[in-house]
């Protein structure tokens, strides 16, 4: 696991206390140098999302990862769930789209 992936994982664990968290580096699906940490997919389940609109849930994560989003992360697939929702979808989040070769950020 690369340093940015570790940092994202640590920040989310500390600040959201997720019931489930998966941070996947999907950079190798994209047109970036090998070993890049630019494209991530995060699936996160937390009771802190209960009663909050999706936009507010994503804003929580964006705020926690502001530094990484400004500096390092080019693309972020973000899937937030309450424990109930996660149970309803049997613990599977959607697949990220393929790269179409778009330019920086």
Partner 1 sequence: MDVLERIQKQVDENPIVLYMKGTPQMPSCGFSSRTAQALQGCGVEFAYVNVLADPEVFENLPRFADWPTFPQVYINGELIGGCDITLELFQKGELQKMTKEAATGKENAEQG
Residue 77 · residue 26 · CB < 8 Å? yes
1 or 56: whose CB is closer to partner 1?
Answer: 56
CA proximity to 41, closest of 55, 60, 21 = 21
1 or 89: whose CB is closer to partner 1?
Answer: 89
Would you tell me which residues interact with partner 1 (CB under 8 A)?
A: 54-55, 58-59, 62, 66, 69-70, 75-79, 94, 96-103, 105
CB of 16 vs partner 1, minimal distance in Å: 17
Residue 83 · residue 19 · CB < 8 Å? yes
CB of 25 vs partner 1, minimal distance in Å: 16
18 or 79: whose CB is closer to partner 1?
Answer: 79
CB of 14 vs partner 1, minimal distance in Å: 20
């Amino acid at each position: 696991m690369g340093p940015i992936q570790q940092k994202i994982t640590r920040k989310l664990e500390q600040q959201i206390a997720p019931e489930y968290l998966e941070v996947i580096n999907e950079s190798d699906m994209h047109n970036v140098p090998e070993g890049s940490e630019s494209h991530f997919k995060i699936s996160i389940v937390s009771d802190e999302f209960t009663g909050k609109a999706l936009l507010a849930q994503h804003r929580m994560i964006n705020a926690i990862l502001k530094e990484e989003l400004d500096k390092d992360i080019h693309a972020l697939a973000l899937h937030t769930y309450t424990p109930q929702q996660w149970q309803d979808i049997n613990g599977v989040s959607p697949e990220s789209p393929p790269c179409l070769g778009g330019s920086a950020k």
